Structures are given as structure tokens and as C-alpha cells.
Structure 1
Amino acid sequence: MTVFHQESKKTITGHKALREALRDTQTYSSDLQGDADVRDYRQLPLEVDPPRHHLYRSVLSPYFVKPTIEKHVSRFRENSIRLIERYFSGDPKEVIAELALPLVMENLGVIYNRPQDVSEWISWGPDVWTAESDKRDGAVLHRYLDQIYEEALSRSSQDVWQEIAYLEIEGKQITADEFRGIAGVLLAGGRDTVVKLLTGIIWHLGRVPTDLEKLRS
């Protein structure tokens, strides 16, 4: 892997060099808000440097460590079998809308204990910034984030949003903007990556049916 860093005019090549650069936050900082055209808050913990980055990660990691995720494996399997069987039955279907997105979103609904939101998440499409039109806009996501934040503060449900709304960093409850930054990442982080992974697998198996036969055998 090779990365060119514009400000320092340095080219970083190889896994070891990249890991060293990631630790060098004085030279290669993440302390910058991105997507300025659609949001005015930072995605957390992505857009802050250590030590604050580590503070956010330490309170969020328990939701995604292996023992936590393994508790949901049977539900993941049930969802996957049901959605795959539905997709391959009957007439041909659109792979993103009918398989990849539902598979990702239904399993997130399990992890976050928000099955009631799955249909809405799917309706956003693969990129929430273009959920309403081809023009990038944050209105759809931000309406949802504002709604779940208000709901979470009322403690009316037991789910990931309620828990995150009451997280504390250095003894202080997170702010509304911090909630937006964390919840936005939990909904969008890796979403399009997994969708592309699933669609890429299907595309490959469609082009190379011998590989599909190997899997079947």
C-alpha cells in the first residue's frame, strides 16, 4: 500500500510505514472535520487525535468486541439464510436493494436492538448523503439522529442509542453533537464497504461459475 501525504510531501509505502505514520499524530493528524458540505460536527472517534480518540474508542469498543458480536451469530445466520433464499427465489432482483442492504441493515438492527428502524435505514440506499437525490445532503440522516437522540434522553427504550446518549467522557455526558458524530459513524461506517463486498462476491461468482461450484461442493 502506498499513500502520498500532501502537506509533508512524503510518500508512505508498506504496512509497517503506514502503521508508524498512523501513530505520528503530530505529522499526520486526524483532527479535522470532513464532509463540510453535509455536516458541521466531527465523526467520532475518527476525526480526533489521541488521547481523546482513545477515550471514545474505549467506551465504544465493548459494543463490537468478539464476545459481544458472537452472542448474535444465530440471529445473523437466520437473517442471512432468509434473505438469501428470498433473493434467489422467483424473478431476478436488484442485488443492492434486495439483498446487500437488507443483509447489512437487518444485522445492524440486531446489534443495536433497533429492528423498528431497519426499513428506514434500507430506504436511505447505499449512501445516506444521497438518500433523497443525487445532490449530497445531510437532512435525512440528521432528522433521524435528532429523533433518536430525543428518544434516547427520555430513556423510553433499551437500545444502543439510549446507552450512547448517556456515555461519559472524562466524567461528562456526551453532547448532542458528540452523539451525532458517534451515531453517524455507527450507521454509516463500513456500510458501503460491506455492500460493495457482497455485490462484488455475487458479480465474481456470476462471471466465474466454477468458483460457485467449488463452494457448493
Structure 2
Amino acid sequence: MTVATTTAAPTIDLLDAASFANGQPHDQFAWLREHDPVHRHGEPDGPGFWALTRYDDVRHVARDPATFSNSPSVQIADVHGDGAALGDHQMMLMMDPPRHSRYRKLVSPDFVPRSVRPLTHRVQALARQIVDAVIERGECDLVDDLAGEMPSLVIADLLGMPLADGRELYKLTELIHAAPDTVPDGTQLNAAIKMFTYASDLQAAKRRNPGEDLSSRLLAAEVEGHRLDEMDFNLFFMLLIDAGGDTTRQLVGGGMHALFEHPDQRAVLTADLDGRLDTAIEEMLRWVSPVVYMRRTATVDTELRGRKISAGDKVVLYYGSANRDELVFTNPQTFDVTRSPNDHIAFGSGGPHFCLGSHLARVEIAALLREILTRMPDLEPAGPTEWLTSNFISGPRHLPVRFTPGPKLGA
């Protein structure tokens, strides 16, 4: 195993969107892992936070909710009124066990492998439909037209709403995740309000005419002896729309970007797509790490690698750095579609908040990548990749591509 030696200290700024202008700041992460893996990072409008960049530290903190809480927020900034916590209502992602466990049980049956398996044919049909929509054009935006379509349509299907509405809500999530200094004041609040308004209208419609969809089942469920009220449902809806799109959208876009940059690995993959697609997806997850970080808050005074962590301190887990840890991965700066084993933590590192939708995301990613790589074999970039201006979610925002036009396959 090769351990990198990084001597020259780069400027460390994990808040500035400019640090993420071309993907994740792996030069900063590499230096921190070697020299300051529990780094005290400043915060212009806050008290600062501890940045964890080593794999073992990230895993440890994620698996100890008693010491490191998800409340009040999983994002670095303490922003009130953002939908994370409203009065006595709280988004499930910001809860800790045992309350978190009770709410998670409401939706987890829809995302376990035995429930996801029957959706495979539907997801494959959607992948064919998505590629059909652009195949005759010979060019498209890989993110907007392909990668972003899949999770938008799947989550719309699950929640029992028009597919076109899923597309519009996906646009709102992009605004919500943008770095605050890259969008006009009020943009993110307005996007959250629009999503809440849609959720309120949807829950009213489902109460009048319930169906077999996840929205209807949520509204019929009880937690702690009570049915979900309007705000409970709205927070669940926002979480499902938000989290349901991030991994698939950014992984497919970022994964294809990686294949463009590593044509030898693309050749290895396409030479045996059936045999190598699964390991390639895991390597894309490690390489892209769509969720940059999650924050925890220390509940008691504790210690990490000799650094004194005080109760109330923000502790931030950088998954993109952990997934390149030289102490865990052999040649971590090498993109290898045959890498095995590959114990990445792109979906989190176990514990109560391990990504609920990981099984469904893998089904979506596999269906869409298979369709793209087989029906667009000469796909290539048609312009520069534009990355999301976000220090929370990493992946391309736009990736123009061209290819030889082909025929639609239909249903």
C-alpha cells in the first residue's frame, strides 16, 4: 500500500464553493489526512468546526450517534427555518435513535432489496425511455437529459405524482444545494417554500384519493400513536425528493466524466459490461463520492486523535476524503473499474443513518449506465464539464456530449 507524502500545505478552505469548482478539493484532503486529520476549520458566520478526513475517524463518528448527534443539522451552517426543524417537527435526517428508528421504519420497507427487486423492470423501462428521448439528436446534456431524469422519474413513480413534476422538483433541489454565495439572496428559501407548497397540495390530494403509492402509505401510517400531520409529511417529502436524486444524478454524471478522463478504464468496462458493471459502479461511488460531507454535533466532551472536542462542537465527516484514504485503499488516486475489495463509504459508513436508498440507487445507476454505454458506444464530451457550485453535493451540473444518432427502441 502506497501512502502519499504531501509536504506543501495548500490553502485549506472547505467552505468556499471555489474549492469545489472542478470537483472535490483532493489536494486539500490529502494534506489534511497526512498532517491534520482532525482539523479545526474556521467559519465566517459561525463558531467553526472539526473537519475529519481519515476513513477510520469518519466511520467511528458515524456509528456513534450517542456521542455525535445529527441534531440540529447535518449541514455546517446553522440555518433556521430551512425545513430541517420547525417547532416540534423535525426532518428524519436530523433525528437520532430511537426517534429516528421509528420514523425510518415508515419508509424502509419500500427500499429494502426485496421491495426494490420488483422495480427493476420498471427502472429498466425508464432507462430505455430516457435514452429514447435523445438518441435521434446525436447530442444532449448528459446531466440534464440523462442522469437527472432517472431519479426524478423513479421518485415521482414511488410517490404517486406526475413524472413531469419530478423533473421540476429536481431543479429545486439544485438550488437548495447551491453554495449560498453563488445564488441571489432568498433563492434557497423560495425553492424550499415551493417544494413545501407542492408537498402540501400532494398530501391533500392523497388524503382525498389515496392510492398504492408511498405518499398514501405515509399518510396512513402512525408514529408514536399519531398520524403524520401536514408538516410531518412535507418534511418526509422534501427528504425523499432531495436524497432520492443526489446519488444517482451525480454518480452517473461524475462516473461518465471519470470514464471520459480514463479511456483505458472505459475500454476495460465495455469489453465485459456484464461482468464488470457492478465493480465499476462501486468504484465510481468511491471516486465521485456524491455527498461531500455530513455534519454531527458532539453531545459530550470527547476526544479524537488527541484533539479535545467540546460538547456542542460541530464535527464534519468528509466522505470524499475518506474514500481516498491511503491507509485503507491501495493506490486510491487510481480509478480502477475492477477494484476489489472496495469498502467505500459513499452511502455513509454504517450506523443508523446509512443511506436508505442505496439499493434503489444501484438499480437506477446500473440500468442507466448500461443503456448509455450500449446504445451510445461512441459517446464523447462536446464541451467542458460544469461542476455544481456546492460544498455539500459533488458532481457535474452540465456535461455536454455528442454521439452517433440511433433509433428509438420504444416500450
What's the TM-score, normalizing by structure 2? 0.46
Separation of aligned partners in 1, 2:233 and 2:140: 36
Residue number in structure 2 paired with 1:139? 193
What RMSD, in angstroms, separates the aligned Cα atoms of the two structures? Answer: 3.0
Query: The residue matched to 1:157 in structure 2 has which SS?
Result: coil
Pairing of 1:40-55 with structure 2 (within 5 A): 41=86, 44-55=91-102
For 1:59, the equivalent position in structure 2 comes to 106
Where 2:92 maps in the other structure, the secondary structure is coil
The aligned residue for residue 129 of structure 2 is 82
- Specify the alignment match of 2:285 in structure 1: none
Is 1:186 the equivalent of 2:240? yes
Aligned mate of 1:121, from 149, 154, 166: 166
Distance 2:90 2:111 in 1: 17
**Distance verdict in 2 for CA 1:91–1:52, change over 3 Å:** same
Q: How has the CA–CA distance of structure 1 residues 87 and 207 changed in structure 2, closer, same or farther, with 3 Å as cutoff? A: farther
Amino acid at match of 2:103: Y
3-state SS in 1 of match to 2:69: coil
Aligned to 2:117: 70
Q: How many residues align?
A: 214
SS at match of 2:163: helix
2:152 and 2:170 in contact (8 A); partners too: no
Q: Which residue identity lines up with residue 229 of structure 2 in the other structure?
A: T
Deviation at 1:85, TM superposition (A): 4.4
Cα 1:146/1:110, change in 2 over 3 Å: closer
Shift of 1:159: 1.5
Q: 1:122-175 deviations in whole A, cap 9, x for unaligned? A: 1244443638x8521212201110111111222343311111012111221122
Does the aligned pair in 1 maintain the 2:38–2:52 contact within 8 Å?
yes
Q: Following the alignment from structure 2 to structure 1, what is the Cα–Cα distance between the partners of residues 174 and 90?
A: 14
TM-score normalised by L of structure 1? 0.81
Which structure 1 segments of 5+ residues have no match? none
Greater helix fraction, Structure 1 or Structure 2: 1
Which whole-Å CA distance do the structure 2 matches of 1:186 and 1:149 have between them?
A: 14
Three-state SS of the structure 1 residue aligned to 2:114 is helix
Look up the equivalent residue of 2:145 and give its one-letter code: E
Any idea what the Cα deviations from partners look like across 1:166-197, whole Å, max 9, x if unmatched?
Answer: 21112211222211111111111142232111
Q: CA deviation at 1:206?
A: 2.8
Higher relative contact order (CA 8 A, sep 6+): 2
SS in 1 for 2:239: helix
1:154 counterpart (208, 213, 217): 208
Which of the pair has more CA radius of gyration? 2
Shift of 1:17: 4.2
- Evaluate the alpha carbon distance shift between residue 177 and residue 207 of structure 1 in structure 2; reply closer, same or farther with a 3 A threshold: same
Paired amino acid for 1:68: S
Amino acid at match of 2:162: D
| Aligned CA distance change for structure 1 residues 209 and 20 (closer, same or farther; 3 Å) | closer
Q: CA deviation at 1:16?
A: 4.8
Amino acid corresponding to residue 51 of structure 1 in structure 2 = P
Look up the match of 1:202.
256
Shift of 1:210: 3.5
Higher relative strand content:
2
Percentage identity across paired residues of the two chains: 18
Aligned to 1:32: 72
Aligned equivalent of 1:22: 62
1:9–1:124 CA distance, 2 compared to 1 (3 A): closer
